[in-house]
Amino acid sequence: MASERQFYVYILASKIGGTLYIGVTNNLVRRVYEHREKIVEGFTKRYDVAQLVYYEVHSEIEAAIVREKHMKKWNRAWKVSLIEETNPN
């Protein structure tokens, strides 16, 4: 029996009201660790974006990628609203 894979679309923040980053991964714990420890060069390291504030689970990578791309086009208010719906703190 094959195990079901999970894929995650996630949002990181630098602080409340700070910079937001949206990504996709198949291992949320590992990826957040990489962001927090600044292991990979790039946007999140440069802007100190490492606090997980939102995530959602998808069973298909294609669906996760489509959702990530869609969310990246949203204005900031929509992103903040989504975060606050599930993570008011």
Within a domain: residue 2? no
Within a domain: residue 81? yes
Residue 43: which domain range?
7-86
**What pLDDT shows up at residue 32?**
97
Within a domain: residue 31? yes
**What pLDDT shows up at residue 1?**
45
Run means of pLDDT, 10 residues per run, the chain, 89 residues? 81 95 98 96 95 98 98 97 91
Task: Give every CB contact of residue 24 below 8 A, 6+ residues apart in sequence.
Answer: 7, 8, 9, 10, 61, 64, 65, 67, 68
E strands in 1-89:
7-13, 20-25, 51-58
Find the CATH number of the domain harbouring 46: 3.40.1440.10
**What pLDDT shows up at residue 88?**
82
Within a domain: residue 61? yes
